[in-house]
């Protein structure tokens, strides 16, 4: 299979400088899906140089915001034009179902449109009241500069859009590096941006591993901001690498997300059905490979047996298959490494006393489940507790743990007993309880009687070790801006702070001059008299 020229540097598609390449594996059968260029540190240097020149010398940062927004809107139209092709590419690369791929493309489209509208609709400056008419004071927003955007393997197209759209809307240039495992849809997105009119050097792309390309971006003196989405340990390395340059850093590092179910949510047949269905949705969408997956079910003790029994029964019926296969509800895990990681976590939980209610095995091979694929049955582990690794650590696989509580305070304590704080949910028939518990949960997103929906106009990010900064919403655009205060004195006059400025050379008391020319009364304590 021919190596694709998947590096985009200074407006040109190219191979790696040293000719290195990487095979992209189809997770459904273990075969080779594509061969891409493998960027090295020299390629990262070239990409940053192109982005630096485009920012420092090119017109993009000074391009009117309406024109930048228009490019984002054209990109959104192209995304919808190529919706099926992109969804298929994302499905084959990540293993997710084709329907999930379509939803991703629609969400990416919405993100580009949202940031186009947000940036274009904002006033150019904010006038600050300086306390008098002798000063004109404003705050303006300027782009940060060159942005290194490092994205994860589970939602490569979506996560790229959450970074690229606001970065461009704010007037930045960028270098994006998708995960080496799933880079194909990001390559396609850059191609659409170029078709939409992205100037040379403004957007650059590196395919390849975190070492050395990603690490070089994080430490590079020519980079002004690093936005990283991925695992905690990698995020810590990114932060360390960026620290000597005092770069702006935004990190989204996953979560260990609680889904709290109160007994009153299950008081009716409809309520019970909804809560069980949502628990499945929370845990097993994209085979659990979601940073906000509701992998910790915390259910009230009085309904535990009935709830877990029905949950396990339904989980055992989930249809596995290629993401592109009709009727498939869950695809494979993304890689052999992720499959082995999931198996190891389940084994550790069983050794620590968890009870296996369903799953816990690879499925038997079938025509739609090739032996070389990375499939794993949705798994429910009951009788779990805080001491277990599966409760403390993010698995990123189709594994749901079960804990129980008897009081509201205990439920909240369990839900907050985590180093992470990305997302969580509460299911209850009592609206007051729902809002009360949501207010007490230390998580960046909290759903009440729902799980997983997000809005591009609402901020996304977490507390604790789930990261720093926010994506989406107005704060998501602010991440890519610097605020500048411009203070203009409309009535300049000598300050006379130094005695040499007086005609007679004598010192005088120096009252603080206000913008309107008034002076405050002498403060003896302030002047030490």
Query: What's the angle, vertex CA 208, arms to CA 182 and CA 226, rounded to 5?
Result: 90
Could you identify the residue written with the tokens 């955007």?
149
Query: Could you tell me the sign of the dihedral formed by the alpha carbons of 71, 72, 73, 78, in that order?
Result: positive
Kindly give, in sequence order, each residue whose CB lies less than 8 Å from that of residue 6, ignoring residues fewer than 6 positions away. 13, 15, 36, 37, 183, 187, 205, 207
Kindly give, in sequence order, each residue whose CB lies less than 8 Å from that of residue 241, ignoring residues fewer than 6 positions away. 215, 218, 219
Query: What's the angle, vertex CA 106, arms to CA 103 and CA 109, rounded to 5?
Result: 150
Report helix, strand or coil for 451.
Answer: coil
* 252 in catalytic set: yes
Residue whose C-alpha is closest to residue 411's, from 275, 300, 511: 300
Answer for the pair 55, 145: CB distance below 8 angstroms, yes or no.
yes
Report which secondary-structure segment, H or E, holds 191: helix 184-196
Per-residue HEC secondary structure of 344-361 comes to HHHHHHHHCCCEEEECCC
d(CA 306, CA 266): 10
Query: Could you tell me the sign of the dihedral formed by the alpha carbons of 58, 62, 64, 69, in that order?
Result: positive
Kindly give, in sequence order, each residue whose CB lies less than 8 Å from that of residue 497, ignoring residues fewer than 6 positions away. 510
d(CA 97, CA 420): 28
d(CA 328, CA 305): 29
Both structure tokens of 477: 């655009």
- Options 252, 300, 471, 479, the catalytic residue: 252
Query: What's the angle, vertex CA 314, arms to CA 310 and CA 320, rounded to 5?
Result: 160
CA 25 from centroid of its chain's CA atoms: 24
Active site amino acids: 252
């Amino acid at each position: 299979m021919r190596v694709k020229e998947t590096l985009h540097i200074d407006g040109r598609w190219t191979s790696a400088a040293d000719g290195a390449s990487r095979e992209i594996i189809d997770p459904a059968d273990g075969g080779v899906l594509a061969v891409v260029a493998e960027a090295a540190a020299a390629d990262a240097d070239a990409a940053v140089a192109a982005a630096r020149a485009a920012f420092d010398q090119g017109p993009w940062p000074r391009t009117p915001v309406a024109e930048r927004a228009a490019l984002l809107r054209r990109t959104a139209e192209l995304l919808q034009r190529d919706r099926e092709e992109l969804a298929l590419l994302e499905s084959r690369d990540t293993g997710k179902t084709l329907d999930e791929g379509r939803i991703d493309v629609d969400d990416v489209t919405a993100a580009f449109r949202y940031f186009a509208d947000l940036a274009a609709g904002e006033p150019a400056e904010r006038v600050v009241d300086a306390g008098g008419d002798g000063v004109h004071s404003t705050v303006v927003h300027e782009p940060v500069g060159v942005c290194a955007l490092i994205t994860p393997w589970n939602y490569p197209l979506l996560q790229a859009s959450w970074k690229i759209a606001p970065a461009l809307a704010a007037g930045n240039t960028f270098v994006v590096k998708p995960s080496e495992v799933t880079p194909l849809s990001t390559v396609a997105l850059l191609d659409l941006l170029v078709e939409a009119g992205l100037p040379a050097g403004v957007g650059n792309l590196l395919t390849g591993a975190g070492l050395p390309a990603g690490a070089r971006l994080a430490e590079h003196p020519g980079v002004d901001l690093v936005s990283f989405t991925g695992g905690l340990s990698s995020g810590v390395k990114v932060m360390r690498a960026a620290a000597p340059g005092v770069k702006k850093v935004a990190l989204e590092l996953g979560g260990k997300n609680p889904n709290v179910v109160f007994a009153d949510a299950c008081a009716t047949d409809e309520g019970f059905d909804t809560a069980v269905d949502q628990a499945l949705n929370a845990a097993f969408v994209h085979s659990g490979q979601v940073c906000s997956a509701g992998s910790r079910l915390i259910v009230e003790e009085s309904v535990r047996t009935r709830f877990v029994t029905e949950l396990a029964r339904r989980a055992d019926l989930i249809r596995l298959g290629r993401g592109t296969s009709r009727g498939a509800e869950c695809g494979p895990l993304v890689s052999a490494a992720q499959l082995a990681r999931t198996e190891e976590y389940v084994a550790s939980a069983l050794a620590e006393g968890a009870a296996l209610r369903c799953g816990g095995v690879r499925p038997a091979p079938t025509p739609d489940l090739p032996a070389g694929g990375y499939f794993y049955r949705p798994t429910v582990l009951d009788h779990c507790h805080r001491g277990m690794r599966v409760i403390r650590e993010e698995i990123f696989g189709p594994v749901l743990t079960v804990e129980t509580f008897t009081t509201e305070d205990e439920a909240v304590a369990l839900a907050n007993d985590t180093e992470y704080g990305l997302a969580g949910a509460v299911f209850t028939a009592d609206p007051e309880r729902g809002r009360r518990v949501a207010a007490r949960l230390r998580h960046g997103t909290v759903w009440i009687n729902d799980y997983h929906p997000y809005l591009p106009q609402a901020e996304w990010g977490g507390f604790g070790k789930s990261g720093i900064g926010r994506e989406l919403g107005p704060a998501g655009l602010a991440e890519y801006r610097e605020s500048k205060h411009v203070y203009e004195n409309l009535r300049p006059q000598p300050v006379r702070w130094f005695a040499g400025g007086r005609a007679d050379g004598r010192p005088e008391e120096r009252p603080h001059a206000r913008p309107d020319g008034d002076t405050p009364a002498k403060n003896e304590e302030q002047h030490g008299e």
